């Protein structure tokens, strides 16, 4: 059983007047480095809240980009069924369902429409997986679109680690018979004030764009399954297990290891990190993110040092990683199919600034 203080830290969004605070969950492996077993324990507790209720239904679980992609995949694998995630990336030669996440700095979300239309007749219920639900409006946006396209054919549920919906929002969901599951109920009334009490006095670093070639080892592993497309959750776990087997052959187990995922690509990094942890290494895992968050020196604030990077997916896009430290070994795992080196150069140079010398890059490709 989790409590609000176990999961919730409040941070300040940068230049976002729609919502000035950001809820940082210190166990989900996004912004804050986490022990992978702690993340998976939390994910499994959320999955347990779903297992008994939907045993006779054919399920599609949808994880929300960026922060809930690992949660969504882990819950889908535990519960069973189809899985896909929302995305902000461009996928060639597909149609999309577009909807908005209005409080985010990057508001556009989309689902691959082609995949939904190809399997909708085999789905009884869609369960949306989030790290937190505050108003429920974003999920209602996509539910409204789906009900218009596929009237009368679907039931809906949401499952989140945190739920901050007020009574009016909860009633809207009850009236539409949308089931709600969560681990911790939160009250957001004080979050803006908490965020504003912190000073913007943390460390801001901008690693250089110089080539990092020679500073890291690189390997390519085939068998990539793209969770932005609809996949069978069991097949996804098997693919991640094969990814780990390939990495294990080349990996020297060290006393301390950091595993880094990239943006929307979180679950495979956490999965591999958990396998390394089982080997006896002291492992932490987190990922790069599009989210620009202010950092603060105060001990109670969740993030203290920010590195501004170029994206591994698009060199024109800023991304960030927080609170890097020194480890015996760093393993970066990405599904970026781009040959562009600028993103990896900035990430490796950032890791070197934090004192890391042994850095390995794994590219998961088709």
pLDDT at 152: 82
Strand pairing report for 155-163 and 125-133:
parallel
Query: What pLDDT is attached to residue 18?
Result: 76
List the domain boundaries for the chain: 4-196, 203-364
Low-confidence ranges of the chain (pLDDT < 70): 100-107
pLDDT reported for residue 102: 53
Closest CA to 289 of 271, 272, 313, 270: 313
Model pLDDT, residue 136: 93
User: Looking at the domain that runs over 4-196, which CATH code has it been given?
Assistant: 3.40.50.2020
Domains 4-196 and 203-364 share a fold: yes
pTM over 0.85: yes
Spatial contact of 130 and 68, defined as CB atoms under 8 Å apart: yes
Residue 105, pLDDT score = 46
Distance of CA 37 to the CA centre of its chain: 16
CA distance 362 to 315: 19
From 3.40.50, 3.90.70, 3.30.457, 1.10.3480, which CATH number describes the 203-364 domain?
3.40.50
3-state helix, strand, coil in the chain (%, to 5): 30, 30, 40
């Amino acid at each position: 059983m989790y409590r609000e203080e176990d999961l919730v830290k409040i941070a300040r969004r940068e230049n976002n007047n729609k919502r000035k605070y950001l809820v940082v969950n210190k166990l989900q492996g996004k912004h804050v480095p986490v022990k992978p077993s702690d993340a998976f324990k939390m994910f499994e507790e959320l999955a347990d809240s779903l297992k008994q209720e939907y045993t006779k239904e054919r399920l599609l679980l949808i994880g929300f980009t960026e922060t809930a992609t690992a949660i969504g995949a882990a819950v889908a694998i535990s519960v069973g069924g189809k899985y896909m995630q929302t995305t902000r990336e461009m996928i060639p030669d597909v149609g999309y369902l577009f909807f908005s996440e209005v409080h985010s700095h990057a508001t556009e979300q989309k689902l691959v429409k082609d995949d939904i239309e190809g399997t909708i007749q085999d789905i009884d219920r869609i369960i949306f997986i989030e790290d937190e639900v505050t108003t429920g409006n974003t999920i209602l946006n996509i539910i409204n679109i789906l009900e218009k396209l596929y009237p009368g054919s679907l039931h809906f549920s949401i499952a989140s680690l945190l739920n901050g919906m007020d009574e009016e929002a909860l009633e809207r969901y009850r009236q539409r018979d949308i089931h709600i599951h969560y681990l911790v109920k939160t009250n957001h009334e004080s979050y803006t004030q908490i965020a504003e009490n912190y000073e913007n006095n943390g460390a801001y670093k901008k690693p250089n764009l110089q080539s990092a070639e020679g500073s890291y080892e690189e390997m390519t592993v085939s068998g990539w399954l793209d969770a932005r497309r609809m996949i069978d959750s069991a097949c996804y776990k098997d693919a991640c297990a094969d990814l780990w087997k390939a990495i294990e052959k080349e990996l020297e187990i060290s006393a301390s290891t950091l595993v880094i995922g990239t943006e929307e690509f979180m679950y495979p990094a956490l999965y591999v990190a958990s396998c390394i942890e089982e080997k006896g290494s002291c492992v932490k895992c987190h990922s790069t993110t599009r989210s620009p968050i202010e950092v603060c020196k105060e001990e109670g604030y969740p993030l203290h040092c920010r590195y501004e990077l170029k994206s591994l997916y698009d060199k024109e896009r800023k991304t960030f990683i927080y609170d890097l430290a020194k480890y015996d070994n760093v393993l970066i795992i990405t599904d970026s199919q781009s040959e562009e080196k600028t993103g990896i150069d900035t990430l490796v140079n950032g890791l070197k600034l934090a004192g890391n010398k042994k850095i390995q890059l794994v590219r998961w490709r088709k």
